[in-house]
């Protein structure tokens, strides 16, 4: 074979190989989009389990609401309504709202989630403060769909305001459950709780946040939240970004950007975030190693917080976070997986799914985010 013929043969071979590669690339399926149907089924099933779990049972045939399973569910589940072509709440949603409403109406009669007599001081105070905020958040979130504030939500807000601290280091906030469980029930969780209160107040329909009678209390809440603007606990700062997006006057533009930058700096090479990297004091009580890989909860919370703070979905960090969530939903049961910050748990156990419950709810919120059209109050 002469030099010319050889060159032609090599070129033909290369072109054929490139054509095959290009064809395979064109035929390779893109990563499947997340499934609203399986996410909804997972969330509903977990909520039904929680409502019937003996450990969650409380007096007057009620059950306690949790920061990991019930509250995220209540906030997120309605966002799936359109995608699932539902005409109204699921049965699990109805049961949760009925339970919260009952406890709000019987506030002076129902026992706290964890009485002092059974759990020691100051669990009654912590339980009341925590539940009052969560009840208000659940009912005001429900009322957003209706467009008007219900009497029950207003009563829940009244119960909440009655327990707000008026003096001391915690002035403007609420007593919060502390079982040394991160990230929701620990010594630094009152900032998390106050951020949820800000969401409840700011999203309450009918201009509730501007009601003259509550302005002194709102002012105290803003002042408390503002003190947490530079906390090293980035999970709390993510929650604070969310709260400040709903209740104006909490963070300056520079403080908001500083929190955005701090969260973005923790994004991992695969586009996700690890909840374990968001605070310097996270350590498991059994001394087992924390999972430092990107997980469903860290990625969902930070992506959602960035969206709520006004960062566009097309912005690189947010789009990569959304892509991670799209790619990491469990296609079998619909959840996004995250592991405990407190101990090594069997991921197949019900307690081992608590973090995944929260991860799935916030993944739904991030993927269906409408903050750029709704605005803040």
Q: What is the pLDDT of residue 360?
A: 98
pLDDT at 188 exceeding the cut of 50: yes
Higher pLDDT, 206 or 376: 206
332-370 burial, b if ≥16 CB within 10 A, otherwise e? ebbbbbbbbbbebbeeeeeebbbbbbbbbbbbbbbbbbe
Q: Is residue 19 in some structural domain?
A: no
Q: Is residue 9 in some structural domain?
A: no
Q: Is residue 12 in some structural domain?
A: no
- If pLDDT is split at 50, 70 and 90, which confidence band does 371 have? low
For 113, which DSSP code? S
Closest CA to 51 of 91, 108, 109: 91
**Mean pLDDT score, 84-94:** 96
Q: Report residue 372 as tokens.
A: 């750029």
pLDDT at 310 exceeding the cut of 70: yes
Q: Is residue 53 in some structural domain?
A: yes
Q: Is residue 25 in some structural domain?
A: no
Higher pLDDT, 15 or 231: 231
Q: Is residue 133 in some structural domain?
A: yes
pLDDT at 274 exceeding the cut of 90: yes
Give the number of other CB atoms < 10 A from CB of residue 261. Answer: 9
Question: pLDDT digit string (tens) for 106-122?
Answer: 999 999 999 999 999 99
- CA atoms of 82 and 226, how far apart (whole Å): 36
Q: Is residue 23 in some structural domain?
A: no
Q: What is the pLDDT of residue 369?
A: 86
Question: pLDDT digit string (tens) for 3-25?
Answer: 444 443 433 444 344 433 333 33
- Number of structural domains the chain divides into: 1
Q: Is 30 exposed, middle or buried, given 0-12, 13-18 or 19+ CB atoms closer than 10 A? A: exposed
Please report which residue ranges of 53-189 form alpha helices under DSSP H.
70-76, 91-105, 116-119, 123-146, 151-162
Q: Is residue 97 in some structural domain?
A: yes
Place of tokens 């699921």: 90
The residue segments making up the domain with residue 335 are: 31-374
**CATH classification at residue 352:** 1.50.10.20
Please report which residue ranges of the chain form alpha helices under DSSP H.
3-27, 36-52, 70-76, 91-105, 116-119, 123-146, 151-162, 190-203, 215-227, 234-246, 253-264, 296-308, 316-327, 354-367, 371-374
The residues near 266 (Cβ < 8 Å, ≥ 6 apart) are 234, 273, 274, 277, 278, 302
- If pLDDT is split at 50, 70 and 90, which confidence band does 207 have? very high
């Amino acid at each position: 074979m002469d030099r010319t013929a050889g060159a032609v043969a090599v070129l033909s071979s290369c072109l054929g190989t490139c054509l095959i590669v290009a064809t395979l690339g064109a035929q390779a399926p893109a990563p499947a989009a997340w499934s609203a149907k399986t996410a909804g089924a997972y969330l509903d099933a977990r909520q039904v389990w929680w409502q019937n779990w003996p450990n969650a049972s409380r007096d007057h045939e009620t059950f306690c609401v949790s920061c990991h399973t019930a509250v995220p569910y209540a906030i997120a589940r309605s966002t799936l309504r359109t995608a699932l072509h539902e005409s109204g709440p699921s049965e699990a949603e109805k049961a949760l709202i009925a339970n919260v409403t009952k406890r709000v109406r019987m506030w002076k009669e129902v026992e706290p989630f964890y009485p002092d007599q059974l759990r020691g001081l100051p669990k009654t105070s912590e339980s009341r403060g925590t539940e009052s905020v969560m009840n208000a958040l659940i009912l005001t979130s429900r009322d957003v769909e209706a467009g008007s504030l219900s009497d029950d939500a207003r009563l829940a807000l009244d119960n909440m305001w009655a327990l707000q601290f008026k003096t001391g280091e915690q002035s403007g906030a609420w007593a919060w459950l502390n079982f040394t469980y991160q990230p929701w029930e620990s010594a630094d969780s009152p900032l998390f709780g106050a951020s949820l209160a800000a969401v409840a107040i700011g999203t309450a329909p009918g201009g509730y946040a501007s009601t003259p009678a509550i302005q002194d209390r709102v002012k105290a809440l803003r002042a408390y939240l503002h003190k947490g603007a530079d906390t090293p606990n980035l999970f709390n700062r993510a929650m604070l970004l969310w709260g400040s997006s709903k209740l104006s006057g909490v963070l300056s533009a520079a403080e908001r950007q500083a929190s955005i930058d701090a969260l973005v700096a923790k994004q991992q090479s695969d586009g996700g975030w690890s909840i374990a990297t968001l605070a310097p004091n996270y350590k498991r009580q059994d001394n087992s190693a924390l999972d430092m890989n990107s997980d469903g909860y860290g990625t969902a919370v930070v992506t959602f917080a960035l969206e709520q703070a006004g960062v566009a979905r097309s912005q690189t960090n947010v789009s990569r976070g959304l892509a991670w969530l799209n790619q990491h939903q469990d296609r079998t049961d619909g959840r996004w997986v995250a592991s405990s910050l407190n101990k090594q748990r069997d991921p197949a156990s019900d307690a081992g799914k608590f973090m995944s419950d929260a991860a799935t709810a916030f993944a739904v919120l991030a993927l269906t985010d409408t903050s750029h059209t709704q605005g803040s109050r």
